[in-house]
Copies of this chain bind each other. A is one copy, B any other.
């Protein structure tokens, strides 16, 4: 943090009294000194540029003005980011080959766009994001070599191309087999003819589609001579490269305001006899030959891989959103004073109220432990993808798929709930848009639903778990993340509280799975229901098992990571991380208390012990809370919050923001003269 002066006295005292070294934590959190400094440099590069100043709050603007604001800023952002990269490459004496694009570079770029920098510049996201987040990765994963040669470099350089990925339709989301957009192959002209047969077949939701993208990857049902060949991806130009006018047969626009992410320009798209050449079906996985012959080729697993990739990344993204919210709430709670604990004493910082600590600290711990899981998941993803390339990855891919579904569902849910608790912990001022909880909530709420609806993902996880559960009965070897299913011994409460808690979570997941399985069996036997009907009747129980599995995994993973951190961190930092991991595991236990007590025998005294330790940990973290959140090193511009700024000048900032309110630029609004005045005089008539 560059700001070294001007902090309010409460925050200064907090920082002076902390027993941890913030910078040590910051280095660890950033993944090393080099990473930390590189990020700070990049943020400085943007945030010191007056072109990227926040001249007016996004929230004052009309919906149309918001689009114009983010598009304008987005274009400047990409251009400036390119300059940065060129400079970087120059300093590393690399010659940039304009025609070479590698996937790591795309992934890095995506991280920049959705990471803290992107959040700071675009609190409600922006329309060019999907070009890098989905359009490019899809070209890479699904285009064949010739297609990559033709399109990839152009797309990477945005040479006349800005794209998005159009899968979801008005009538179909998670159940993608139900998509209705058609692509009929015309053997005569060697073209595909795209059509939107019904209103529910309109593409609906793709980011940037409304008025920004001029090309899209479209998922459509392929038909050749009237025969159906399943879903395929097609590359379609939808707007003229020069004029940007929608091309003939294209009906495109913006779907309208949403709960959040209002910078995205989500769009709708309909086709009426839109023709594209044969070589614009993406052909890495399946091909249509000129004569209309269909060939399934390549690895269908790769298609799978892109979806997994996005879910893996989401786990990381929502973790940051949760921790931004926690940082805002912590700083505000150290500045806000209210309700004396002792009568006639000075009002304390609200962070001194135990109830307030209980709202905030568990979310800090959770965010950190979810990042630990996101890192593990990312490493797992990269490992499996290498194996898939060598055609040996079907087994691990199933585990990766289930784990990514499960963690995406569980972490987005918990982050969303956490942001809400943190927002509420800031009382009335947390409700102001200028506190920025609404943007964070909006992004996490979107992540909860997109790329696989929550319950759908849990049920997919449960299907995998059920297979492992029956394999466990047969004493088969299980993948690591579910190996606990083989351990049938009941909870034995030992001296290690955390081990007890983690094991109780695992047993609960296991028993909940058994319960769902037995219920399914009962439905089939006693009521003669089919397997699928029985699955539906067991739906609640299956979803509960998947959630428990997620929590059990997260708790166990946090303990495992902690064991490794003992070797790689200094003593002060390790003690802090230990407290955080401990708080996370105990908190997860408490949140799942109903299930745990349903499936395990835990005495009142054991629960008391746990409860007591939980409250002790809150007290132990209290003196370091501000120093700890400082260590996430979120720039003030990234937090974008009147309540969360580093200097703690909360009331001044709320006030400054109110002064900027366009409504306040006139003492009397015109509506007084047009309407209110007449009302106030009408009783005299």
Binding site for B on A (CB under 8 A): 57, 59-65, 67-68, 71-72, 75-76, 78-79, 98, 157-162, 168, 170-175, 178, 199-200, 202, 204-205, 210-212, 214, 241, 243-246, 253-260, 268, 337-343, 347, 352-356, 358, 420, 423-424, 427-428, 430-434, 437-438, 441, 445-446, 448-450, 453-456, 459, 530, 532-533, 535-537, 539-540, 543, 590, 592-598, 604, 607, 615, 651-652, 654-655, 657-659, 661-664, 667-672, 674-684
How far, in angstroms, from A594 to B587 measured CA to CA in the complex? 13
A338-B173 contact in complex given A59-B63, A259-B433, C-beta closer than 8 Å: yes
How far, in angstroms, from A607 to B511 measured CA to CA in the complex? 14
Contact in complex: A256, B354 (CB < 8 Å): no
Contact in complex: A658, B256 (CB < 8 Å): yes
How far, in angstroms, from A450 to B431 measured CA to CA in the complex? 10
How far, in angstroms, from A170 to B432 measured CA to CA in the complex? 12
How far, in angstroms, from A202 to B651 measured CA to CA in the complex? 10
Contact in complex: B256, A433 (CB < 8 Å): yes
Number of copies: 2
One of B211, B536, B667, B674 near A341 (C-beta < 8 A): B536
Contact in complex: B60, A658 (CB < 8 Å): no
Q: Inside 8 A of A431's CB, which chain B residues have their CB?
A: 258-260, 445-446, 449
Q: Which residue of B lies closest to A211 (CB)?
A: B669
Q: Inside 8 A of A661's CB, which chain B residues have their CB?
A: 63, 253-256
Contact in complex: A67, B615 (CB < 8 Å): no
Q: How far is the CB of A546 from chain B (nearest CB, A)?
A: 11
Q: Inside 8 A of A260's CB, which chain B residues have their CB?
A: 431
Q: Inside 8 A of A68's CB, which chain B residues have their CB?
A: 669-671
Query: Which of A173, A434, A667, A681 has the most chain B CB atoms inside 10 A of its CB?
Result: A667
Q: Inside 8 A of A259's CB, which chain B residues have their CB?
A: 423, 431-433, 437-438, 441
How far, in angstroms, from A82 to B348 measured CA to CA in the complex? 49
One of B72, B175, B211, B663 near A339 (C-beta < 8 A): B175
Q: Inside 8 A of A450's CB, which chain B residues have their CB?
A: 428
How far, in angstroms, from A539 to B98 measured CA to CA in the complex? 62
Q: How far is the CB of A515 from chain B (nearest CB, A)?
A: 8
One of B76, B214, B433, B668 near A258 (C-beta < 8 A): B433
Q: Inside 8 A of A453's CB, which chain B residues have their CB?
A: 427-428
Q: Inside 8 A of A445's CB, which chain B residues have their CB?
A: 424, 431
Q: Inside 8 A of A438's CB, which chain B residues have their CB?
A: 258-259
Contact in complex: B663, A173 (CB < 8 Å): no
Q: Which residue of B lies closest to A522 (CB)?
A: B612
